[in-house]
Structure 1
Amino acid sequence: MRKVIAVDGIFLKSRYGGVLLSAIAQDAENHIFPVAFCIVDSECDASYKYFFEKMRSFVLDTPELCIISNRHPSIGKMVSVVFPSAHYGYCMRYNIMMINITELINAVLLDERKFPITALFDVINKQFAEIFHERRMIFLDIGTKFVPSMEAIIAENTELGNKLLVHQIANYRYVVTGHEAIAIVDLKSKSCSFRVFDVDKIPCPHAMAVLRCQYGEDYGRRIYEYSCLYYTVDTYIMAYVEEIKPVPSEDSWQVPIEILERKISPPFVEPSKQNAAIAMQYSTTNVLAMKNSATNVLAVKIQHLM
């Protein structure tokens, strides 16, 4: 996965409310990849600290990791506590990712946001188990080294690179000119002064032109050597190789005795919200009763006419 994780909270609509926290990354095909889900009472320091501490058990805290979110103060605060080596911020890239994430989560949980917690997670489990299987199977016999989106970028960059002029200035260092721009490419450090090669970890048009100059007819094969293994089909399939198994039945759970003996009260519900929920339920019941009554009257009238 790309080492960029977007964090967001979605309000639930059940009787007890709550917030579904989600951490989402993207795979090499720009598909949304679920990292973690958690339900909490509200978005606050304690909630995000707990969420990130659980994530820390399988997400490494490294300088390469970047966590992005909206401007909720608790997220940035707790990222600095639990993931001190990671970068944190909010930016335009976040907005692009969050639009996709929100659309996906809302589509998956359009009605289920009203469900109890166990039912909600059963839906999440089922939906992503199907997605994982589909993505795992679709690339098994694809026949290319990189995923399709990256193969398309390689082809495009190669064509653009063929129109550029190159001359060498040192070992593995070249000046590339064209389109009224000048770039310096260093093959040893896999970098370009335009920074696209550095960030995307795949040769940009300038780097493609340099590879052609450096390796001649063999440069097509060399392209993959100068690209990140993250884009390979094998790496993509490995990301989805783990199966998402259903939660076993409750009678098979091994729960510690101290948990079993703990008395847990139901979540607090503000009287105003509880009354509103009751009123809504009462209103819905009345509407259904009125519809049934009207249907019965209509049926009697029709029968009388016959």
Structure 2
Amino acid sequence: MSNQLRTELGCNVSNWKIYKGMEHSKSNVRGTNEHGYAVHNAYQYMLEVANQGSKTTLLFDENGRFQYFFVSYAAWIIGFREMTKVIAIDGTFLRSKYGGILLSAVAQNAKNHIFPVAFYIVDKECDASYEYFFQNMRSFVDVTDELCIISDRHPSIRKKVLRIYPASHYGCCMRHLGENIRNNFHNSKVVSHFYKAAKAYDICEFNDHFNQIRDLVPKAAKDLEHIGFHTWSRAFCPENRYNIMTSNITKSVNSMCDVEREFTIVALFDEINRRFALLFHHRRMELVHSENRFVPSIEKDISQYVNADNKLLSHQFVNYKICITSHGDVATVDLQRRTCTCKIFDLDKIPCPHAMEAIRSQHGDDFRNQIYQYSTPYYPVKNT
């Protein structure tokens, strides 16, 4: 910057003076940090007035100093009711004068787009801050076995999820675990087998790769067993996790807000609101005239699975249970429970190729319409 001033304006200015000038300019545009903290009460009130139904809380410590600020807009609360109940949580450091951490809780819509649930400013990540966070989120995110919360294994997150959302499932980010294995054991083959085991739908396939990990690095296998297969493996995780295996969507939010991390808190939340309002508008315009019943990515999967079922044979042996065979491969589909032994129907919530053949055998010529009846209600275009 100083070289640019010298060459373009002929001014010899010190780096310190440039820094102070930039700080002064930023304060003129966004206000000072001190002013931002002083107007928090008024800002919270105006958020609730302008966005009826929003959830905002502001907490100060015993000395009257700022501690926590929680925000979830009414549009986010209403929209999350139509989302899959999988929430990823992560934090990123703020670069303002007084520091702090921005925690984000985000979901994923049917088109795999980021959908915000809540944002939260804290002084530090600890048991107390996460307890306050989850207690506020609990006011609009119900305690139910349908809910799954994914994180990068921060101990406070897991502890408070188990206490405040006891009926819900806690899951680990597959990519976070994979990078830990890479850094701790420096074995690319183990990392490769870990990702294949984590992504496997079938328990037999999972065991094949996990046994390879155990043979290569027994300590890595022991650590993964201690963490719990149900927290990171698709083959063992509950059906409420859908197909979301990482918390990468939170990393994307952190990247999106990279510049804004040096803003005052008021300016930061204004920019978050503006960014997502603009994204929601663009997403709606993309699909407003769509003739598809489900979002394009799911329609593509359905088309692929329908074509695959031409090579399968079905045999019904119990009400709603149908045996599907193909070149030595045998699967059992339960249309009433919407499950298949291949686990794709269970986890992705759309009929797998085996289920497609089962639906065809049950409903005949009307089977294409029935496909949507056997799919989750979270995938229609109207929910994006």
Q: TM-score, normalised by structure 2?
A: 0.59
The within-5 A match list for 1:154-169 is: 154-169=302-317
Letter in 2 for 1:103: S
1:178 and 2:260 are equivalent in the alignment:
no
Q: Per the alignment, in what secondary structure is the counterpart of residue 52 of structure 1?
A: helix
**Which position in structure 1 is the counterpart of 2:12?**
none
Letter in 1 for 2:283: R
- Cα distance in 2 for partners of 1:46, 1:125 equals 26
- Offset at residue 172 of structure 1 (A): 2.2
**Which position in structure 2 is the counterpart of 1:131?**
279
**Which position in structure 2 is the counterpart of 1:90?**
172
- Cα distance in 2 for partners of 1:53, 1:15 equals 28
Aligned residues of 1:45 and 1:78 also touching (Cα < 8 A): yes
- Offset at residue 94 of structure 1 (A): 6.9
Aligned residues of 2:127 and 2:156 also touching (Cα < 8 A): yes
Per-residue deviation, residues 219-248 of structure 1 (Å, max 9, x unmatched):
111111111111112233xxxxxxxxxxxx
Aligned residues of 1:6 and 1:94 also touching (Cα < 8 A): no
1:198 and 2:280 are equivalent in the alignment:
no
Letter in 1 for 2:117: V
Letter in 2 for 1:104: V
Cα RMSD for the two superposed structures: 1.6
- Cα distance in 1 for partners of 2:317, 2:380 equals 32
**Which position in structure 1 is the counterpart of 2:28?**
none
**Which position in structure 1 is the counterpart of 2:143?**
61
- Cα distance in 2 for partners of 1:135, 1:150 equals 16
Q: Per the alignment, in what secondary structure is the counterpart of residue 103 of structure 2?
A: strand
**Structure 1 141/220 Cα, relative in aligned 2: closer, same or farther at 3 Å?**
same
- Offset at residue 100 of structure 1 (A): 3.6
- Offset at residue 137 of structure 1 (A): 2.5
- Cα distance in 1 for partners of 2:144, 2:151 equals 18
* Runs of 4+ with deviation above 2 angstroms: 93-101
Aligned residues of 2:92 and 2:101 also touching (Cα < 8 A): yes
Per-residue deviation, residues 250-282 of structure 1 (Å, max 9, x unmatched):
xxxxxxxxxxxxxxxxxxxxxxxxxxxxxxxxx
Among 133, 148, 155, the alignment partner of 1:51 is 133
**Which position in structure 2 is the counterpart of 1:99?**
248
- Cα distance in 2 for partners of 1:215, 1:231 equals 22
- Offset at residue 10 of structure 1 (A): 0.4
Aligned residues of 1:158 and 1:208 also touching (Cα < 8 A): yes
Q: Per the alignment, in what secondary structure is the counterpart of residue 16 of structure 1?
A: coil
Q: Per the alignment, in what secondary structure is the counterpart of residue 230 of structure 1?
A: coil
Identical-pair percentage? 54
- Offset at residue 4 of structure 1 (A): 1.1
Aligned residues of 2:313 and 2:326 also touching (Cα < 8 A): yes
1:17 and 2:166 are equivalent in the alignment:
no
- Cα distance in 2 for partners of 1:181, 1:35 equals 42
- Offset at residue 170 of structure 1 (A): 2.3
- Offset at residue 179 of structure 1 (A): 4.3
Letter in 2 for 1:215: H
Aligned residues of 2:104 and 2:119 also touching (Cα < 8 A): yes
Q: Per the alignment, in what secondary structure is the counterpart of residue 202 of structure 1?
A: coil
- Offset at residue 99 of structure 1 (A): 2.9
- Cα distance in 2 for partners of 1:35, 1:42 equals 20
Aligned residues of 1:68 and 1:94 also touching (Cα < 8 A): no
Among 352, 355, 358, the alignment partner of 1:207 is 355
Letter in 2 for 1:97: T
Q: TM-score, normalised by structure 1?
A: 0.73
- Offset at residue 211 of structure 1 (A): 1.3
Per-residue deviation, residues 146-197 of structure 1 (Å, max 9, x unmatched):
1111111110010111111112212222111114310011222221111211
Q: Per the alignment, in what secondary structure is the counterpart of residue 28 of structure 1?
A: coil
Q: Per the alignment, in what secondary structure is the counterpart of residue 144 of structure 1?
A: coil
- Offset at residue 12 of structure 1 (A): 0.8
**Which position in structure 1 is the counterpart of 2:366?**
218
**Which position in structure 2 is the counterpart of 1:255?**
none
**Which position in structure 2 is the counterpart of 1:141?**
289
Aligned residues of 2:158 and 2:170 also touching (Cα < 8 A): yes
Letter in 2 for 1:144: N
- Cα distance in 1 for partners of 2:359, 2:310 equals 11
Unaligned runs of 5+ in 2: 1-82, 178-244
Unaligned runs of 5+ in 1: 237-306
Q: Per the alignment, in what secondary structure is the counterpart of residue 311 of structure 2?
A: coil
Aligned residues of 1:212 and 1:219 also touching (Cα < 8 A): yes
Larger CA Rg, structure 1 vs 2: 1
1:118 and 2:200 are equivalent in the alignment:
no
